[in-house]
Amino acid sequence: MVLTSDAVEAFNLELAGKFLATIGLDGRPNVVPVISIRAFDEETLVFGEFMMVKTKRNLVDGCAVCTCVITERLDNYVVRGVFEGFEKRGKYYDFISEIPLFRYNAYTGARSAGVIRVEEVWQVKRAKSRINILADTLAVMSVSGGGSGGVIPPNVAEKFNRINAVKVVAKVEGDKPLIIPALSLRAMSQSRLGFGIRSMEAERLNEGDVVATAVLTMDAIAYQVKGKYIGMKRGLLGKIGVIEAEETYTLTPPRPGEKITSIRKS
């Protein structure tokens, strides 16, 4: 399967949310924003190696990966593929070095270019409906948070609760990572995240799944929250899915990939 012309156009937008999911040595999913992802052609995605910590460790030649792009118009494409390695010179490196992110900033040059061979491509049409997203957001807001402990700091919760932030959930499906666009994802408390089921592929999540979530804001601030999907909960405005949070990480400078170990109680 190859990228359609619309998918190529979406991945080549500068202003779009783009994510890359991998599987760690512990078998758990990891998902981070990688805004440098571009379509080299209809069969190949390329991205710049920059500020990658866990993701780079997970990227072994031949491993399965999943990427996703979500545009300002809410067009989205999810791509599964095979990571074919990093190159420090050649056509892919030259291609990624020419994008404005790397070309015009001496401090953000790409060390190498990562290459992904496309295997599967699809859209989540429900995630394009603003009405569904609004209804899902209201459904999450209508349910009390609950949970015990607290690993989601207030400043991270605020980012997840922004309507215009881009959010995704990742899991391991079989032996491959999977990204699910989840624009209604919100912090219900300092220990739980919730999402509505109208606007996302909630049926691909199974109770007990280990998941990783990520948020990317319009001002390029990003966080990752890892935890476990604990199933559905019924609220006044419909069913929602609930994630019990276990760990929170910052994904932006000055310490990308650093775990947040303590939070101020709200």
* pTM, entire model: 0.93
What mean pLDDT value characterizes the chain?
92
Q: Please say if the pLDDT value at position 179 is more than 50.
A: yes
* pLDDT mean over 233-240: 90
- Count of CB atoms situated within 10 Å of the CB of 169: 29
254 upstream amide cis, omega within 30 of 0: yes
pLDDT score, position 10: 98
Backbone angles phi, psi at 126, to 5 degrees: -65, -30
Domain 126-250 falls under CATH 2.170.190.11: no
pLDDT score, position 108: 58
* pLDDT mean over 168-190: 97
pLDDT score, position 97: 86
Question: Of the candidates 105, 94, 78, which has an alpha carbon nearest to the alpha carbon of residue 200?
Answer: 78
Q: Please say if the pLDDT value at position 54 is more than 50.
A: yes
* pLDDT mean over 18-35: 96
Q: Please say if the pLDDT value at position 50 is more than 90.
A: no
pLDDT score, position 49: 84
CA atoms of 74 and 258, how far apart (whole Å):
30
Q: Please say if the pLDDT value at position 253 is more than 90.
A: no
Q: How does pLDDT run across 101-155, given as a tens digit for each residue?
A: 666 555 556 788 999 999 999 999 999 999 999 999 999 999 988 776 789 999 9
Q: How confident is the model at residue 266 (pLDDT cuts 50, 70, 90)?
A: very low
Q: How confident is the model at residue 43 (pLDDT cuts 50, 70, 90)?
A: very high
* pLDDT mean over 6-32: 96
pLDDT score, position 73: 95
Range(s) for CATH 2.30.110.10 in the chain? 5-122, 126-250
pLDDT score, position 53: 74
Q: Please say if the pLDDT value at position 27 is more than 50.
A: yes
* pLDDT mean over 154-178: 97
* pLDDT mean over 31-59: 91
* pLDDT mean over 247-266: 80
pLDDT score, position 145: 81
Domain 5-122 falls under CATH 2.30.110.10: yes
pLDDT score, position 187: 97
Q: Which two tokens stand for residue 33?
A: 């924003």
Buried b (16+ CB within 10 A) or exposed e, 67-99: bbbbbeebbbbbbbbebeebbeeeebbebbeeb
